[in-house]
């Protein structure tokens, strides 16, 4: 199943599966909307971690999220309260979520840090 995006009465309704590959398309739809922006998640069945983080960022930016299923809302709350790993912050800032070289670099940095702590 794929993600279906439709506009319904000044809202953006997301249906199906929301995956990292859909983020650009959802961002584009949000950018086209007039304020206030409302995402309706009533028909959203599955979501991945990057999409949960995206929804958190949307809420922080003032986007209203309606009809969010309890499991997605709970996951969003857990992600907000989770301490941020410095490598994740760097990865998000650079937009290289799948960059193998960056992951290797961050692994080396963590390994060096652990050796220094001993």
Residue-wise pLDDT for 63-75, tens only, equals 999 999 999 999 9
Q: What is the mean pLDDT of residues 92-102?
A: 47
- Residue 28 near residue 3 (C-beta atoms within 8 A): no
Residue by residue, what is the 3-state secondary structure of the chain? CCEEEEEECCEEEEEEEECHHHHHHHHHHHHHCCCCCEEEEEEEEEECHHHHHHHHHHHHCCCEEECCCHHHHHHHHHHHHCCCCHHHHHHHHHCCCCCHHHHHHHHHHHHHHHHHHC
**What pLDDT sits at residue 92?**
54
């Amino acid at each position: 199943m794929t993600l279906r995006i439709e506009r319904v009465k000044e809202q953006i309704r997301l249906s199906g599966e929301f995956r990292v590959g859909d983020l650009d398309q959802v961002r584009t739809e949000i950018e086209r909307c007039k304020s206030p922006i409302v995402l309706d998640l009533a028909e959203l069945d599955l979501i991945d971690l990057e999409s949960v983080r995206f929804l958190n960022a949307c809420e922080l930016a003032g986007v209203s999220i309606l009809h969010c299923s309890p499991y997605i809302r709970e996951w969003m709350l857990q992600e907000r309260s989770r301490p941020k790993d410095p490598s994740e912050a760097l990865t998000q800032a650079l937009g290289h979520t799948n960059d193998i070289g960056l992951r290797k670099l961050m692994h080396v940095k963590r390994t060096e840090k652990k050796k220094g702590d001993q």
